[in-house]
Structure 1
Amino acid sequence: MVENLETIDQAMERCRTETLRLLHRIPPTLGDRQWHPDFSPIDWHFGHIAFTEALWLLPEQERKKFHTPSYQKLFRADGLSKSERCALPSRGVIEQYLGEVRASVKQVWGSTDRSWDRAQARLRWWLLQHEVQHSETISFLSHLAGIDLGVNSQIPGDECPEPVLEATMVPIPAGGFYQGSEQIWAQDNERPVHWVEVEQFWLDKYPVTQAQYQQFIDAGGYQQSKYWTEAGWQWRSMANVTAPLYWHPESNTQNHPVYGVSAYEAEAYANFVGKRLPTEQEWERAARWSGQHNSSTYPWEETLPTKEQCNFNNHRGRTTPVHYYDQGRNQGGCYDLLGNVWEWTASTFEPYDNFQPYPYRGYSQAYFDGEHRVMRGGSWATRSWGLRASFRNWYHPWTRQVLVGFRCAS
């Protein structure tokens, strides 16, 4: 990623093309339904992307025509409650809204000095990643709705069952690394970079698979409180959960990662096999451990993710076998650290020392409440701009709707 506005403009155009591709793959009749009480309808997110772009990139006078009183109420993040956001404009109107906002942005910025401006560049990278994150929400809501978003869902040999993989672990040596990022595209919660020392630990070579998790279910793991934390057992009992949310085990997906699990379920499984969840420091140490240095942007060092290295950007539209992407391994041989499914960690979402909020105080800071758990790695729906070893995602530990699995440590 080169730090200049031309490159950012190109990235924003590529991102918008992918957003529109997503929009066109979702039936309009399914866009105004609330698929889960914790999330807004699918089409609301498309409108919110346009609304937010106008908010941050257009001058006040130009912005007024896009921030009408009705849209102020509907598309602001702090406007209507999620359950009240179903009375949406038609799909065609929302697509036109996206296009008209972008056209105005181009007109405004096309007539200004194009010289290097780091502050403006950082804001644009933040907006691009805002679009990436809402597009991923659209993707997992579509998954809840049973919509296939995959561009190329088949992989060689996928139709045939494979031998079940063993739960192999690899040693991650003790050492220090620079945690976080201060690259121009880094989010506020990734900053500032700081040195971290990690003791040697062992980490699962692969995310926990469906076949492995099936053993937990078959052993009565959901019925035995001894495997669960107190909070986890209380949640399991109240929610009456007996399997992951996306639980459709088949003979040809037994080596795919389990996903749609809460952090409580992940912890219970880890206790069942005598392991634990990694901390986010341990996870990032593993993901940044490459052949040349200890703080690579990706497990394969510095090149942008490709379809040969990981499962991302709805290319498949579903999980892939955890041992499929040989080119995406870290130095120690761990697979799928980026893409396929997010991974729960044992860490609470907290600010790094000397944290500075950006672009507004509540963006990350509102979630430093001691109640959110860190997830790492990205999923099959994450776009390339949200895939990096330093990226932090966060949800309540009981959340299962996101495309999240886990791997164990010891």
Structure 2
Amino acid sequence: MTIDALRHSPEQLRARIAAELERARNRSTGLTDAVDGDDLVRQHSPLMSPLVWDYAHIGSQEELWLVRDVGGREPVRPDIDNIYDAFQTKRADRPSLPMLNPDEARVYVSTVRDKALDVLEHTPLEGRRLVEAGFAFGMIVQHEQQHVETMLATHQLRQGPAVLDAPAPPPGAPAAETEVYVPGGMFLMGTDLDPWALDNERPAHAVGVEPYWIDTDPVTNAQYAQFIADGGYADRRWWTPEGWAHRSNAELTAPQFWHDDGTRTRFGHVEPIPPDEPVQHVCWYEADAYARWAGKRLPTEAEWEMAARYDPESGRSLRYPWGDEDPTDEHANLGGRYLQPAPVGAFPKGTSPLGVRGLVGDVWEWTSSDFTPYPGFAMFPYPEYSEVFFGPDYKILRGGSWAADPAAVRATFRNWDYPIRRQIFSGFRCARDV
């Protein structure tokens, strides 16, 4: 939702929200309809929920926030609240829960959506912070799109014949320079203006950054393969003590889904590893080790955001690397339309004013920063979205992957995960001091 949505008429805003809700539902329904009932209830990895749990959980959150809270309506299924509370049930335990079966889940999410759309039609989108500019509806759109990305990660982990396919991404182009110099200085990080920005993106605050160099593009498969060929996984010099312990215990030798013969598995397809794609399915420890091997480091979160948002001509921070307008298909690889990263340089219109490419879409990019609140952070509307995760256990990722949807991606958007996670669509780029 653009900042201009604040100036839309209520009718225009409702129409935009309804379209975003429908677009999110088309994606989540497509991923559940792609497999049979046995696949939907199976747990393909202890790291992930059964697909049908994710689908019903999407409906449960929509019921809690839009039907009950915003709409003040009677509960649809209060008996399943605990089953679909992500904080009461660990992922590994969810297959043993009395989940809705696939047919029941489809009826439930459809019933909830009908009621939510009726609430949208009759709710003033002002006067209460939760509904101002449609925030609660935007929060639910983003929640569903985030679970679509989670469901795609589950699809990547499932065994069996391929059920998802997509066209090839556009060709890339090599960068004229492999690094971009960022002169540093003060810039405005975070946002106070974006109507659907979540609490951890707020408030906007001035940050000072020392001059640094940052990679023009994310690290590619070919570059990462050089790290492997040079014995990077066997050389303790490049790893932190915690990283080396994890590498040893998990027996890491390459990104997840890579094979020794130069192929990878992607959604059931075994294919050659494209050399010019950003590397993905690497954990933070792997990214950090590569950066050390390359004589560099991971960028801080502030360095990443300055490279993505700062416009030296105007001196202001943009909403996206290319400006304030919503992403189009020419700006970035988003929305899962190719089911993989595009070769670096495939979206020149997405280049930031400083000349950094591919900052939005393709892969989430690990940074060196822990997930901490911004100065002046205020929890809203519930602590389990951000507040309970703050601390040194989680590392920040920025930028959004090819699987992320434009509704859930901004240059201020903050993602986080454990440094050992790599089933997510994660990659990285390097930085270095001047």
Name the TM-score, length of structure 1 as normaliser.
0.91
SS at match of 1:119: coil
Which structure has the highest strand share of the two? 2
Aligned equivalent of 2:225, options 210, 214, 223: 214
Aligned equivalent of 1:124, options 129, 134, 137: 137
Residues 296-305 or 319-328, more deviating: 319-328
Partner of 2:94: 85
Distance 1:350 1:217 in 2: 32
CA positional deviation for 1:206 = 0.8
CA positional deviation for 1:10 = 3.1
CA positional deviation for 1:118 = 4.6
SS at match of 1:372: strand
Letter in 1 for 2:167: S
Distance 2:374 2:23 in 1: 32
Distance 1:18 1:292 in 2: 38
Partner of 2:267: none
Given that 1:246 and 1:259 are in contact with CA atoms closer than 8 Å, whether structure 2 keeps it comes out as: no
Partner of 1:391: 413
Aligned residues: 403
Aligned equivalent of 2:57, options 41, 48, 58: 48
2:17 corresponds to 1:8: yes
Partner of 2:179: 169
Partner of 2:287: 266
Given that 2:32 and 2:51 are in contact with CA atoms closer than 8 Å, whether structure 1 keeps it comes out as: no
Given that 1:72 and 1:79 are in contact with CA atoms closer than 8 Å, whether structure 2 keeps it comes out as: no
Cα deviations across residues 310-359 of structure 1 (Å, max 9, x unaligned)?
A: 11111001121012111111123222100000000000000011111111
Letter in 2 for 1:155: P
Letter in 2 for 1:318: Q
Q: Quick one: structure 1 residues 303 and 239, their matched pair in 2 at CA, closer, same or farther if it must change by over 3 Å?
A: same
Partner of 1:138: 151
Aligned equivalent of 2:301, options 280, 304, 308: 280
Letter in 1 for 2:51: I
Letter in 1 for 2:187: F
Given that 2:199 and 2:377 are in contact with CA atoms closer than 8 Å, whether structure 1 keeps it comes out as: yes
Letter in 2 for 1:173: P
Given that 1:372 and 1:397 are in contact with CA atoms closer than 8 Å, whether structure 2 keeps it comes out as: yes
Q: Following superposition of structure 1 onto structure 2, how do residues 237-252 of structure 1 map, counting pairs within 5 Å? A: 237-247=248-258, 249=262
Residues 1-10 or 325-334, more deviating: 1-10
Distance 1:271 1:113 in 2: 53
Letter in 2 for 1:238: N
Aligned equivalent of 1:346, options 352, 355, 368: 368
Letter in 2 for 1:14: R
Distance 1:49 1:106 in 2: 15
CA positional deviation for 1:95 = 1.8
CA positional deviation for 1:369 = 2.5
Cα deviations across residues 201-235 of structure 1 (Å, max 9, x unaligned)?
A: 11111110111011111111111100101111111
Letter in 2 for 1:366: V
CA positional deviation for 1:156 = 4.9
CA positional deviation for 1:177 = 1.6
2:167 corresponds to 1:153: yes
Q: Quick one: structure 1 residues 156 and 206, their matched pair in 2 at CA, closer, same or farther if it must change by over 3 Å?
A: closer
Q: Quick one: structure 1 residues 226 and 63, their matched pair in 2 at CA, closer, same or farther if it must change by over 3 Å?
A: farther
SS at match of 1:203: strand
Partner of 2:203: 192
Distance 2:37 2:219 in 1: 35
Aligned equivalent of 1:236, options 228, 234, 247: 247
Structure 2 gaps of 5+ residues are 264-271
Residues 108-117 or 184-193, more deviating: 108-117
Q: Quick one: structure 1 residues 108 and 296, their matched pair in 2 at CA, closer, same or farther if it must change by over 3 Å?
A: closer
CA positional deviation for 1:157 = 5.7
Structure 1 gaps of 5+ residues are none
CA positional deviation for 1:117 = 5.0
Distance 2:332 2:49 in 1: 29
Residues 112-121 or 292-301, more deviating: 112-121
Distance 2:365 2:124 in 1: 43
Residues 189-198 or 117-126, more deviating: 117-126
Q: Quick one: structure 1 residues 165 and 224, their matched pair in 2 at CA, closer, same or farther if it must change by over 3 Å?
A: farther
SS at match of 2:338: coil
Distance 1:244 1:304 in 2: 32
Letter in 2 for 1:260: H
SS at match of 1:176: strand
Letter in 2 for 1:172: V
Given that 2:180 and 2:213 are in contact with CA atoms closer than 8 Å, whether structure 1 keeps it comes out as: yes
Given that 1:285 and 1:294 are in contact with CA atoms closer than 8 Å, whether structure 2 keeps it comes out as: no
SS at match of 2:412: coil
Distance 2:384 2:404 in 1: 23
Q: Quick one: structure 1 residues 175 and 110, their matched pair in 2 at CA, closer, same or farther if it must change by over 3 Å?
A: same
Q: Quick one: structure 1 residues 172 and 93, their matched pair in 2 at CA, closer, same or farther if it must change by over 3 Å?
A: same
Q: Quick one: structure 1 residues 72 and 116, their matched pair in 2 at CA, closer, same or farther if it must change by over 3 Å?
A: closer
CA positional deviation for 1:72 = 2.3
Distance 1:339 1:371 in 2: 25
CA positional deviation for 1:36 = 2.3
SS at match of 1:297: coil
Distance 1:209 1:166 in 2: 16
Aligned equivalent of 2:108, options 97, 103, 119: 97
Partner of 2:26: 17
Cα deviations across residues 239-258 of structure 1 (Å, max 9, x unaligned)?
A: 11111113254566100111
CA positional deviation for 1:109 = 4.2
Given that 1:54 and 1:63 are in contact with CA atoms closer than 8 Å, whether structure 2 keeps it comes out as: no
Given that 1:343 and 1:405 are in contact with CA atoms closer than 8 Å, whether structure 2 keeps it comes out as: yes
Name the TM-score, length of structure 2 as normaliser.
0.87
Q: Quick one: structure 1 residues 231 and 9, their matched pair in 2 at CA, closer, same or farther if it must change by over 3 Å?
A: same
